[in-house]
Amino acid sequence: MGSKRQCVLNYKLRYRVYASIWLKKLSITIKIYMKHVLFVLIVFCLVQVSCAKKDPDNSIPNSLEGKWRMILVKDNTSGLATTKPFSVQGEVEITFTAASSTNGTFTGFTPTNEISQNDYTVGLNQSISIPNLSMTKVIETTWGNQFVQNIRSSQQYSFETGNKLNIKTTNKILTFLKL
């Protein structure tokens, strides 16, 4: 009988030891799990706060006036769109200054040249005319040539969301982003 009792006591002792070890492991596992959950939650909150757009880019300009950077040239016939080649250093940027509701001037630069003060006129149905382009004459990049070869044949302009200006010419549509 004594050995049976000792067996039962050994079994109960082992059970308590195993239960104690299991509870410690469970406690450690829960702590580690909670640390991971807390870390993921903190990272998620930081990402949400840091990625929130401060200034939504859904606005539509209402005037030509201001500084614009050419970002896209689209062929009217084929629909082929061209962006500035990565290898081209510099931008095509123009600044429109209104003199009245129907005319004004613009200046700017291409990747290799400076655009002097030039006149423009606007009319009904957002028509635009830029008859002359006065600028320095250093060898132009392919991106600068897209502007130089097309801006004098401007016909219409329009605005779109994202602060964009489209100038439709005889052969191309030049798209600018307001700066």
What would the DSSP string read from start to end of 48-114? Answer: HHHTS-SS-S------S-EEEEEEEEEETTT--EE---TT--S--EEEEEESSSSEEEEEEE-SS-E
Instruction: Enter the pTM of the model.
Output: 0.69
pLDDT, residue 12, reads 65
What is the topology classification, in CATH, of domain 66-178? Lipocalin (2.40.128)
pLDDT of residue 31: 80
Domain limits, the chain: 1-52, 66-178
pLDDT in tens, the chain (179 residues): 556 666 656 666 666 777 778 778 777 888 887 777 777 778 777 777 776 555 556 788 889 999 999 999 999 999 999 999 999 999 999 999 999 999 999 999 999 999 999 999 999 999 999 999 999 999 999 999 999 999 999 999 999 999 999 999 999 999 999 99
What's the pLDDT at 48? Answer: 76
Residue 27 has what pLDDT?
A: 78
Q: What is the pLDDT of residue 47?
A: 76
> From residue 19, how far is each of 6, 25, 118, 162 by CA, in Å?
19, 10, 88, 64
Report yes or no: 90 and 111 within 8 Å, Cβ to Cβ.
Answer: yes
pLDDT of 37: 73
